[in-house]
């Protein structure tokens, strides 16, 4: 594992001898613009792991993306190598259908302390709720970013991250009622205490998420990548390009179906992902939207 290899992967060319906020903001944004949030391994007969060496080889050497445990574990290693003071935390993702948070930690994030101030980093939530930059850990403060306004709320024991977004305008009316469209303008993302977690804390849950027939990651194949003006996503056979339009307080959504014979080309052209094993797209009904 080599830090320079990772920095080359994300296109970072500046100095990195000073663990400051500007550098952290830069590598955070470059990561989400370069490395997809994806669960394609599950649909290629492969197994996701918490082994950092395997994750590094997959993301850095093989030009793949990964889901939260892979991307954010790799990012925690990057933070360590660059001299940042950080803590890994576990968070519970919000289930909009049950109007509550899942009972177990299924999402990994990192807190970074710079000049005595804590910041949340999360390079692997994907789609419209992806942070482009770290968030200050200040309760109740609106923190605007291109995807929308993020907000951390603290009740004394637990922090909650929520996002206020713009209305999504679907260009093709055939997709106006797609289950992939998130119609909530303000939505909770996840909650977390400040309890430090080792990667072993997530192993059992992550195994379940990639094997349970009820898991949304088993029911849907997902690949998403942030772009300078929004994000793109391939969920099953449905390819979407979302363009942020804050001037008109809306986001434009362009959706279309991709035939099997073009899936490989779309992954390569739009996400710079080339798979080794046979990929079987999947888009069954599940609690997942953009």
Q: How far, in Å, CA of 285 to CA of 188, rounded?
A: 21
Residue listed under structure tokens 């797609």: 178
Catalytic residue check, 51: no
Virtual CA dihedral for 68, 237, 98, 199, nearest 10 degrees? -10
Read off φ and ψ for residue 36, nearest 5 degrees.
Answer: -70, 150
- Which has the closest alpha carbon to 10: 21, 26, 97, 76? 26
Catalytic entry in 31, 122, 201, 251: 122
Annotated catalytic residue, options 107, 129, 191, 223: 107
Do the Cβ atoms of 121 and 68 come closer than 8 Å? no
Cα separation of the two ends of the chain: 33
User: If 0-12 CB within 10 Å is exposed, 13-18 middle and 19+ buried, where does residue 237 land?
Assistant: middle
Distant-in-sequence, close-in-space partners of 54: CB < 8 Å, separation ≥ 6: none
Q: Is 223 a catalytic residue?
A: no
Phi, psi of 24 (to 5 degrees): -60, -45
Find the radius of gyration of the CA atoms of the chain. 18
Residue 107 appears among annotated catalytic residues: yes
SS3 56: helix
Catalytic residue among 31, 43, 68, 223: 68
What are the catalytic residues?
A: 68, 107, 122
């Amino acid at each position: 594992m080599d830090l320079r290899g990772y920095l080359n992967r994300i296109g970072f060319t500046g100095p990195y001898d000073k663990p400051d906020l500007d550098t952290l903001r830069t590598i955070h944004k470059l990561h989400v613009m370069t490395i997809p949030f994806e669960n394609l391994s599950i649909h290629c007969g492969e197994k996701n792991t918490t082994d950092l060496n395997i994750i590094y080889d997959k993301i850095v050497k093989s030009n793949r993306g990964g889901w939260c445990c892979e991307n954010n574990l790799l990012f925690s290693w990057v933070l360590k190598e660059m001299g940042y003071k950080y803590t890994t935390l576990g968070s519970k993702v919000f289930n909009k259908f049950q109007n509550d948070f899942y009972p177990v930690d299924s999402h990994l994030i990192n807190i970074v302390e710079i000049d005595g101030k804590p910041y949340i980093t999360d390079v692997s939530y994907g789609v419209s709720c992806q942070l482009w930059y770290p968030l200050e850990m200040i309760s109740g403060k609106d923190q605007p970013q291109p995807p929308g306004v993020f907000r951390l709320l603290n009740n004394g024991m637990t922090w909650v991250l929520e996002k206020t977004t713009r209305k999504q305008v679907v260009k093709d009316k055939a997709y106006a009622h797609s289950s992939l469209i998130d119609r909530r303008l303000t939505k909770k993302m996840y909650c977390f205490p400040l309890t430090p977690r080792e990667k072993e804390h997530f192993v059992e849950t992550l195994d379940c998420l990639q094997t349970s027939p009820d898991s949304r990651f088993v029911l849907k194949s997902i690949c998403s990548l942030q772009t300078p003006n929004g994000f793109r996503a391939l969920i099953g056979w449905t390819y979407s390009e979302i363009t942020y339009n804050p001037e008109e307080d809306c986001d434009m959504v362009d959706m279309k179906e991709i035939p099997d014979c073009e899936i490989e080309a779309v992954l390569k052209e739009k996400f710079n992902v080339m798979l080794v094993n046979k990929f079987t797209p999947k888009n069954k009904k599940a609690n997942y939207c953009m």
